[in-house]
Amino acid sequence: MARAYDDTASFPAGDSLHEECGVTGIYAPEQDVARLAYFGLYALQHRGQESAGIAVGDGSSLVCYRQMGLISQIFDEERLAQLQGSVAVGHTRYSTSGSSLVLNAQPLVQRASFGEFALAHNGNLTNTEELRARLLPDTAFTADSDSEVLVQLLAQLSGPTLLERIRELLTLAKGAYSIAIATPSELYAFRDPWGVRPLCLGTYGDGWMIASESCALATVGATYVRELAPGEIVQINAAGVTSIESEQHEPAALCMFEYIYFARPDSVLSGKSIYMARHEMGRQLAREHPVDADVVMAIPDSAVPGGIGYATQSGLPYVEGLIKNRYIGRTFISPNQQMRSQGVQLKFNPVIENMRGKRVVVVDDSIVRGTTTPRIVALIREAGATEVHVRITSPPIVHPCYLGVDMATYDELIAANLTIEQIRVKIHADSLGYLSKEGLVAATGRGRENFCLGCLTGEYPNKPVATPDIIEACRE
């Protein structure tokens, strides 16, 4: 989901905020669907830590509870007991700077001529304003988000059923949207025609489950069946699952950053284990950027498979150099640069014995703004490392993301402004090596034509129409 971004100089109003989110959906009469949604969201907490919610349908109406905070802070036994029914959708939201409002929390519940529905959205639209212009002038908005535009559009389109309206929505909405919708008695899920964000389907006993990532299915004991195809709609009710292919066909554009950073390593994406893909990225990085060193370490958690891959390929021992305090959360949660910097120190403690007197290779998955890396290098040097060689399992990130990943603006992206050698100097590393685009794509086991590599190439499946403001802001 996305909401308006404070930094209006950087992105077009309304089309802006760049967030990852996690969505779940359960259709399982006779089961505790709210509890299943809760545990599913628990497994998707890495996709968003700002707010979360669950909506449950009991056959005749919907009840929704959403709040700011982590899943574990929002729900307790009492709250879950109030959410009884046979169908549920859940949402966990990611946010960076700007307003953190419960109004932006999801699922969003709306009444329409065909009945009530609750919607949970992961992704970012690129034509929000165009869609907003289609809405009735007196449409009452409660939050400033593209997700709410989708909700209002579904409520106002003329199709007789929700399914008809979703089909039409797929021809109208541009950008990234993986969505789960609950009505009082049915579950719907669909992916945008480009398939930018993931969404998968599983079985739970006689019922069905939808989740952003397969790790959520595994967590509740559901069995993974398959990913939804780009543009596919599934309708789940007492008759089972019906798959409806959209009329809208677009070139596939799965976000590569899901492989690099976002998805959990125990998830499977496009038939490939994220762990194994990252391990291979590390191996390929060692082939492309070998270095004479004593040990290899990784920045926990996302870079660990890549670090182990680098060590495996290079034959150097893999050590744990930094221990992460797991309860701090991702540093990006901190809303400003200063707090982000402090967050890094709060986040890691060095294992000095693994680094003292050693030439250390440190593997991370990405450098975005370049705030984290120099602090990591400093920590490693303070621990007594004699050399620090930084290796990154992604190519330089040189463009912002319009499709749901918080990627900063051109001004903030370090690799959009400095050469690799200048970055090396800035982060105080003895050497710096990035994985090539070709090496990255090869590690996924799939062809380049399947991916959105917008942050690496500037070629996006659908970019917002450039106004003079955007051109100025993006310095294109």
DSSP for 25-45?
EEE-TTS-HHHHHHHHHHHTG
Cα–Cα nearest to 186, from 239, 129, 120, 141: 239
Q: 21, 200, 215, 474: which one is catalytic?
A: 21
Structural contact between residues 470 and 10, judged by C-beta atoms closer than 8 angstroms: no
Q: What one-letter code names the amino acid at 444?
A: T
Binding flags for ligand AMP, 109-148, as an x/- string (CB under 6 A): ----------------------------------------
State the minimum distance, in angstroms, from the CB of residue 395 to ligand AMP: 13
Work out how close the CB of 332 gets to ligand AMP at its nearest, in angstroms, rounded to a whole number. Answer: 3
Give CA–CA dist 140/148, Å, rounded: 10
Among 332, 434, 451, 460, binds ligand AMP (CB under 6 A): 332
The DSSP line for 205-216 is: TTEEEEESSHHH
Q: Count the residues of the shown chain that bind ligand AMP, applying the rule CB under 6 A.
A: 17
Positive/negative CA dihedral, 171, 174, 180, 185: negative
Per rule CB under 6 A, is residue 330 in the interface with ligand AMP?
A: yes
DSSP secondary structure string, 321-383? -EEE-TTS--GGGSSSHHHHHHHHHHHEEE-GGGTTT-EEEEEES--SSSSHHHHHHHHHHHT
Measured between alpha carbons, how far is 263 from 278 in angstroms, rounded to an integer?
A: 11
Query: 390: which strand partners?
Result: 362, 432
Q: Among the candidate windows 4-12, 111-119, 122-130, 366-374, which touches ligand AMP by CB under 6 A?
A: 366-374
Residue 250 or 412: which CB sits closer to ligand AMP?
412
| Only segment of 103-111, 154-162, 368-376, 454-462 that touches ligand AMP (CB under 6 A) | 368-376
- Told to check if 274 binds ligand AMP by CB under 6 A, we report no
| Contact call for residue 364 and ligand AMP (CB under 6 A) | yes
Task: Report if residue 406 touches ligand AMP, rule: CB under 6 A.
Answer: yes
The answer to whether 22 touches 122, Cβ cutoff 8 Å, is yes
Q: Are 410 and 418 in contact (CB under 8 A)?
A: no
Contacts 24+ apart (CB under 8 A), 60-65: 60/184, 60/185, 61/116, 61/184, 62/109, 62/116, 62/117, 62/118, 62/182, 62/183, 62/184, 64/107, 64/109, 64/118
In the complex, what is the shortest distance from the CB of residue 257 to ligand AMP, in angstroms, rounded to a whole number? 7
Span near ligand AMP by CB under 6 A; candidates 38-46, 149-157, 219-227, 359-367: 359-367
Residue 371 engages ligand AMP in binding (rule: CB under 6 A): yes
- Determine if 261 is a binding residue for ligand AMP (CB under 6 A): yes
Residues 34-73 interacting with ligand AMP (rule: CB under 6 A):
none
Q: Is 21 a catalytic residue?
A: yes
200 binds ligand AMP (CB under 6 A): no
91 vs 375 by CB, closer to ligand AMP: 375
For position 455 contacting ligand AMP by CB under 6 A, the verdict is no
Decide whether 233 or 455 has the Cβ nearer to ligand AMP.
455
| Of the candidate residues 56, 216, 367, 403, the single one contacting ligand AMP (CB under 6 A) | 367
Chain residues binding ligand AMP by CB under 6 A are 261, 299, 302, 330, 332, 364-373, 405-406
The residues that are catalytic are 21
